[in-house]
Structure 1
Amino acid sequence: MIALPHDPSGLSKATWTEADFPDMGWHDCRVHAVSIGEYEDDTLPPARLLLDLDYIVRWVEPQRSKRQFTFWIAPATLVFERAWNITGQLGPLHEVREISDVHRLDPPDSNAEPLLHIEGQNFELRLRAPGYTQNLRMPPQHVSRQILTSAERGGISFAQQSFA
C-alpha cells in the first residue's frame, strides 16, 4: 500500500503542476502575498509570478449535530514561471483577497501559452505562462475556518519546497 503524503486529509501529493489543473480548485483560497520576481540572467520573459496562499485541500461536510464545514488547509506557494503580459487589479489593500476561480483560457493569438485568469474577491490577475507549480509547504491542518493564522502557516513565504 502506498502512503499518501497526508492520509488524514486525503491529500495525494504535495507538489502540483498544470497537468493537475482538472483536479485542482482554488475557490475561497486566501491570498496572503503576491510577488513578481525577475530572473537573475537575461531570460526572457524576465518574470515569475508567485502567490502565497492558504490552499484548501478538502472541505469536510458538517456532522448532523454541527452546522459548519471544517477544512483541511495547507500554506502553499503557487508559481507561474516565465510569466508575461501580467495585468490585474487590486481592490482596497486593507481588504482580504480570496480566489474565486482560476480559468485557463484558449490563447487569444498564435502563441500556444494559455491565458490564465485568476478571479477573486478584491483582485484579479491575467497572465500568460507555459504552466505553474504549486508547492504545499506544510502538511494540511484541520481547522474550523477557511484560513490559517500567521502562526499556523509560518508567516508570509514564497518558499518553493514541498513538505513531501
Structure 2
Amino acid sequence: MTTAVHPESGLEKSVWSDADFESMGWHNATVHGLTVQQAEVSPRLLLDLDHIVRWVHPVRPAKTFSFWVAPATLVFEEVWDVQGGLDFKDLWLELELDEVHRLPAPDGRAQWPQWHLQGHSFDLRFRAAGFRQYVRQAPRLSPGPALTAAERGGCAFTELGFA
C-alpha cells in the first residue's frame, strides 16, 4: 500500500511519469502556460497547469463540487511531429484540458507513442518518448478547479515535486 504524501487530498506522490498514465487524469485542468524548450537531444514540451488531485462531492446545503488542486509542471520529453492549434472565438482566453490520450505510434515505433492533448479551446498531437509531472505545492482545497495566480505563485515550469 502506498503512503500518501498529502493525506488530506489523497495525493500519493509529488512526481509522476508515463508509467503512471493509467491512474492519472487531467479533466478540467487549467493550463496557465505552455513552452517548447530546446534540449540536447530534442525539444521538450512543458505545461504549467492546475492539477486536480480530487473532486469533492458537495455536502448539503452546498450544490457544487470543491476540488483539491495543486500547481504542477507536465514535461514531455523528446517531442517531435507537433500538430494542432488554438481556437479562441471569444474574449476569454483560457486553456483547459479535457483529456490526455496516449495513442499507438502510427509507424510502429513504440518508443515514441503519439500523445493527444484534447482541450476545450485547443488540440495538440505530437510524438514524445514520455513525460514527468511535478506537483510543485501541496494541494489546497478550492471552491473551483483553478487556483489564482497568487495561490499558485504565478506561472512556472519548475521541475521539482514538493516535499
TM-score, normalising length from structure 2? 0.94
CA contact (8 A) 2:2 2:12 kept: no
State the partner residue of 1:35. 35
1:111-122 aligned at under 5 Å gives the runs 111-112=109-110, 113-122=112-121
| 2:46 matches 1:50 | yes
Measured after TM superposition, the shift of residue 3 of structure 1 is 4.6
1:1-164 aligned at under 5 Å gives the runs 3-39=3-39, 41=40, 43=41, 46-92=42-88, 94-112=92-110, 113-164=112-163
Query: Using the alignment, how far apart are the partners of 2:92 and 2:83 within structure 1?
Result: 20
- Three-state SS of the structure 1 residue aligned to 2:78 is strand
- Three-state SS of the structure 1 residue aligned to 2:151 is helix
Unaligned runs of 5+ in 2: none
> How many equivalent residue pairs?
160
Partner amino acid for 2:6? Answer: H
Aligned Cα RMSD in Å?
A: 1.5
Deviations 1:69-120 (A, max 9, x none): 0000000000001111112201228521100101111111131121110000
Partner amino acid for 2:120? Answer: Q
CA contact (8 A) 2:35 2:46 kept: yes
CA contact (8 A) 2:69 2:142 kept: yes
Query: Using the alignment, how far apart are the partners of 2:50 and 2:2 within structure 1?
Result: 26
Query: Using the alignment, how far apart are the partners of 1:27 and 1:49 within structure 2?
Result: 19
TM-score, normalising length from structure 1? 0.93
